[in-house]
Structure 1
Amino acid sequence: MPDEEPRTELDERYSDEQATAVPWSQAVTRLAEAELYWLTTVRPDARPHVTPLIGVWADGALHFCTGPEERKAKNLRRNAHVVLTTGTNTLHEGFDLVVEGEAARVTDPVRLRALAAAWEAKYGAEWHFDVGDGVFVSPEAGEALVFEVAPRTAFGFGKGGYSQTRWLFA
């Protein structure tokens, strides 16, 4: 899936007077370079579940993996709507990103091999995955389901010069 160019809007209510909307290309760079993301899923009883994880940006989407019996995988079987966040834990500097979308399983072996290579390139040999039947396989952790989240809506929050940019995808 190619990186599509979203409609970009600056929300002036939450932005300094001199702020401008951040181009999606800059957000993609930050998403690709982030080391840690926070995933929010919805439990069967509608309560949110939030957990940190690692992931990669590829083919216009964020990708993450999880064991099939972990809480997030169980939640995704019932409700694919997710939010992924990343950024800096500071008030007056940095840039935070929020990506809303639906998590979809990736099972194609060619894509899984490319994603496994991307994980290892980004995080090192500690995060080496082999590819099994529609899953990542790790000798230490067993099988992991792989998901992609193509942005439906994304938000960028600039700090130290406040701005709020919204990106809307078709």
Structure 2
Amino acid sequence: MSQPRAERPQVPDGYGMPDDDEGMLPWSWAENQLLTAANYWFATVRPDGRPSTSPVWGIWHEGALYFDGSDQSRRMKNIAANPKVAVHLESGDNVVILEGSAATVGPPPPRDLAE
């Protein structure tokens, strides 16, 4: 799997944000934050276009975030209608934000979870 691309936030000129990659943290740092997190904030889009956020328990495993939820929950209904999501961790200091698409997968074999 290729490493995700790090991006700086878009901020107005004069905020002192560098234009280059200097000072950007490596993917290994971000992945460690994901591996040690238990809570993730999901941002999804309701069918009428309004945003929706929810805290979710999850696990980062082999380069992917796994989470569950009832197909009757607002989050899962939103994902079924539009799989585009943004996910971030609880901390406002050690920031990791993921953007992409969610997909339904079956559970991994029990031996994978036990290791």
TM-score (norm 1): 0.55
Corresponding position: 1:78 with 2:81: yes
Q: Which residue of 2 aligns with 1:125?
A: none
Q: Secondary structure at the match of 2:102?
A: strand
Q: How does 1:110-149 map to 2 (within 5 A)?
A: 111=108, 113=110, 117=113
Q: Which residue of 2 aligns with 1:98?
A: 97
How far off is 1:6 after superposition?
A: 3.5
Structure 1 counterpart of 2:27, which letter? W
Q: Which residue of 2 aligns with 1:57?
A: 60
Corresponding position: 1:5 with 2:3: yes
Q: Could you list the per-position Cα deviations for residues 58-80 of structure 1 after superposition, in whole angstroms to 9, with x for gaps in the alignment? A: 12111111011111111111100
Q: Secondary structure at the match of 1:30?
A: helix
* Identity value in percent: 35
| Residues 27 and 97, structure 1, Cα contact 8 Å, conserved in 2 | yes
Count of matched residue positions in the alignment of Structure 1 and Structure 2: 107
Name the CA distance, whole Å, in 2 between partners of 1:50 and 1:72: 8
Name the CA distance, whole Å, in 1 between partners of 2:83 and 2:35: 22
| Residues 41 and 90, structure 2, Cα contact 8 Å, conserved in 1 | no
Structure 2 counterpart of 1:113, which letter? P
| Residues 10 and 20, structure 1, Cα contact 8 Å, conserved in 2 | no
Structure 2: where are the runs of 5+ without partners?
10-14
Structure 1: where are the runs of 5+ without partners?
122-170
Name the CA distance, whole Å, in 1 between partners of 2:7 and 2:79: 30
Corresponding position: 1:21 with 2:20: no
Q: Could you list the per-position Cα deviations for residues 2-38 of structure 1 after superposition, in whole angstroms to 9, with x for gaps in the alignment? A: 4x223445679535xxx61100011000011112110
Q: Which residue of 2 aligns with 1:44?
A: 47
How far off is 1:113 after superposition?
A: 3.3
TM-score (norm 2): 0.78
Q: CA RMSD in A?
A: 2.6
Bigger RCO (CA 8 Å, 6+ sep): 1
| Residues 87 and 97, structure 1, Cα contact 8 Å, conserved in 2 | no
